[in-house]
Structure 1
């Protein structure tokens, strides 16, 4: 018998007036649209025989509606793809427990965390610090789980659903081992599926201390994302340049901000603890079949715009990965 889990609903009426104005301007969201879209999406989930134990509370469903500016059919597709990526990559996208020793170590080392303060646009800023990942100990699976855990936690917040996320990636200390930690084929699949499947609004991506020998990889990735995402990616040569675009209070002291990274990490651990049960409960959601997912022919053939197989391109440069020499 089909089961659907309904949790306590998040009340959008508790959002501030300024936040509701952003939602209206950027997402076409108002009370009427929100209520009607939630009802339609919830009824679709309840009637869909391919779904089991899928949450139907407002906060969960709104992450998909807001990501697709309240197009219910597109939100339905994103929800199916979201469940499918969790089903296809369970070793990376499920059992996201920050208390698991390998996750705990990545978090303690500051590999990825969200700054406690929002920027001037009301966005959370995700800090990614390459030095926090030891490729001799942590696998690509650990790395991916840390990212999935971070995003699942942040997407439980309705304010973040509306304002979106900014990212700051510090590549200082990157070695060849960091790059070759990934199997190229799996990297290609996770990267491609993740962009299509995770209901997040990536507003800005800022990279700093990128080794010159790695910039070709950044270009390779930029050519395979939407033009909108490509235009939101910026590379800086110094902390001073970075701080012209990112609020200093959202950066750790080690990157020019005021709060020490250690304090930010401790606050992030508290946030992860508060959302731990919600995130772990997501594993109860089940997609029985992917038959409802609409696939364009370009996705089926996994071709890039040049007509060359995307996965094959990644595999063909594996040798180049291993020959990289970093500054």
Structure 2
């Protein structure tokens, strides 16, 4: 489907400066990427839709080889990890969505980024296994980049609010989840993650971070900000005007924000149903991942495996 650019002038300029996107470059790269993907007989995805391909091209600054690699990794993660990636649509996740574990805020940062907050302390391990957290990340990120095209240019800033976490959460935290969620945020999804903010860290946070850090690359680590319990520090990264009240913000009650977000997700059911039809054939499901002796912080510990527009008011 042919693409018609509806981005505002400011976003178009930013796309040109940061992503090297021009009308000519866009048309050239869309054609080149489409031809590359057509040669992959194992891949089932909407390669004739410009909007679909543009998500990946923007995430890789219009480098078609890297965009192709991202598409393959995107579908490899899903195909090799069905426990975490199958049935990711609102109707199959309603009991998870209503737990208010995550929310894309309605406001934006000064540089145009969307803000995604997740609260793992809201997760009840006695009711759901840890895959529910990953599914919420996946559902939320898919929704935001499809709902608002300009976010593909501006990016997303993430806030991990660790309040209410206890040892019951920690003992159910796995290396498998650590590898998958890090891959999702840093190099396995077509979104520009512009910052990761951690707030309200419990005393045992060092233990959790030691599990996650081996999967992180230096670039991703450089974009992490640890605020402890200092909300003023958080506000230096995310304006308080768009944050919920419990984080010292002015945007209202967390539960109310989540209820609104839940409604938006449910209204997008058909989009997520369509998304679930696409895949990369020949992928084998795997079990727990292992760092295989890689060094902490080198980003090489990896996840085992072979590698319509939404209506938003």
* TM-score, length of structure 1 as denominator length: 0.81
Could you say which residue in structure 2 is the equivalent of 1:264?
Answer: 257
Q: Tell whether 2:245 aligns with 1:253.
A: yes
Structural mapping, 1:281-300, within 5 Å: 281-289=274-282
Aligned-residue Cα RMSD (Å) equals 2.6
Separation (CA, whole Å) in 2 of partners of 1:159 and 1:172: 31
Number of the residue aligned with 2:164: 173
- Residue of structure 2 in register with 1:129 after alignment: 119
Q: C-alpha separation between the residues in 1 aligned to 2:182 and 2:243?
A: 29
Q: Deviations over 1:257-285 (max 9, x none)?
A: 22222331132123213432122211211
Q: Distance in 2 between matches of 1:251 and 1:107?
A: 20
Superposed displacement of residue 154, structure 1: 1.5
Aligned counterparts of 1:266 and 1:10: Cα–Cα separation in 2 = 33
Q: Which has the higher helix share?
A: 1
Residues paired across the two proteins, number: 292
- Matching residue of 1:70: 62
Quickly say closer, same or farther: Cα 1:155–1:56, change in 2 above 3 A.
Answer: farther
> Structure 1 pair 303/196, CA: closer, same or farther in 2 (3 Å)?
farther
Tell me the CA shift for residue 223 of structure 1: 4.9
Give the match's secondary structure for 2:91: coil
SS in 2 for 1:116: strand
Alpha-carbon offset, residue 286 of structure 1? 2.3
3-state SS, counterpart of residue 197 of structure 1 = coil
2-side partners of 1:109 and 1:9: how far apart? 39
Give the Cα separation in 2 of the matches to 1:60 and 1:286.
14
| Bigger Rg, structure 1 or 2 | 1
Q: Residues 88-113 of structure 1: CA distance to partner in whole angstroms, max 9, x if unpaired?
A: 1122113112232xx32332232011
Alignment of 1:1-327 (within 5 A): 11=4, 13-100=5-92, 103-156=93-146, 157-184=148-175, 186-191=176-181, 193-194=183-184, 195-219=186-210, 221-236=212-227, 237-258=229-250, 259-289=252-282, 302-305=292-295, 310=301
Q: Secondary structure at the match of 2:232?
A: helix
CA distance in 1, matches of 2:89, 2:44: 22
Gaps of 5+ in 2: 284-288, 303-313
Distance 1:221 1:278 in 2: 31
Indicate how the Cα distance of structure 1 residues 266 and 188 shifts in structure 2: closer, same or farther if over 3 A, else same: closer
Q: Relative to structure 2, which stretch is displaced further, 266-275 or 109-118?
A: 266-275
Instruction: List structure 1 runs of 4+ shifted beyond 6 angstroms.
Output: none
Give SS of 2:204's match.
Answer: helix
Equivalent pair of 1:188/1:310 in contact (CA under 8 Å):
no
Q: C-alpha separation between the residues in 1 aligned to 2:179 and 2:291?
A: 13
TM-score, reference length from structure 2:
0.84
Deviations 1:196-238 (A, max 9, x none): 3222211011111101221243255345322221111111132
